[in-house]
Amino acid sequence: TATQSSPYSWSAVNDGSISVAAGAALQLATSFAGNAAFTDGGAIVNGGSISMATSSGAATWTQSGGSLSGNPVVLGNGTTLADSAGTGQFTLEGNTAITGTIPAGQTVTAEGQANGTTLSLKSATLVDDGSLVLDAPGSGTSSGGPLIVTGGGIQDNGSLTAQVDDPSWMIH
């Protein structure tokens, strides 16, 4: 189900199934200064790439159940992962946010990017019942970067991993 609430904002709900073939891409983005909202409660098979990002406005991926298999969904700059249920893998790149609960059977990886990355917890406690990976990858100024977690706390009931490839990068 897809709806457009203004000329620049949209929302969509998956209660069925979505399949992205190898070599194909599904890009969910805002337009101009609008907002984008995608809610997944169905099944997604990601053999290619699925991404969501915004250059202005706000974007939210709500994972409220269902399953995600194959490649991780990449959520980029300006996107919030509102998590509560479901399996699969998400990669958060750029300045992103996460709220809710990472459920058992799900992995969320936040990756530092060049010039630094902020992962906002939106002044709340993130509950990790699955797997949360905080990654400051790369080396030097050509790849990767620091990861800074702000605005809340993490209650870890699952697996929490902090990885730093280059000692000049950090995770705060």
Q: Nearest 5 degrees, angle CA 165-CA 92-CA 96?
A: 115
Asked if residue 17 lies in contact with residue 42, where contact means CB atoms within 8 angstroms, the answer is yes
Cα 63 to chain centroid distance, Å, stands at 10
What is d(CA 26, CA 48) in angstroms, rounded to the nearest whole number? 8
What is d(CA 71, CA 113) in angstroms, rounded to the nearest whole number? 20
Which residues, 6+ apart, have CB-to-CB distance to 32 below 8 Å? 7, 8, 56, 57
What is d(CA 123, CA 47) in angstroms, rounded to the nearest whole number? 35
* Residue 136 in tokens: 């400051």
As averages over each run of 10 residues, the pLDDT of the chain (172 residues) reads 66 95 92 88 97 89 96 96 97 96 97 87 98 84 80 97 79 66
72-113: per-residue pLDDT in tens? Answer: 999 999 999 999 999 999 999 989 999 999 999 999 999 988
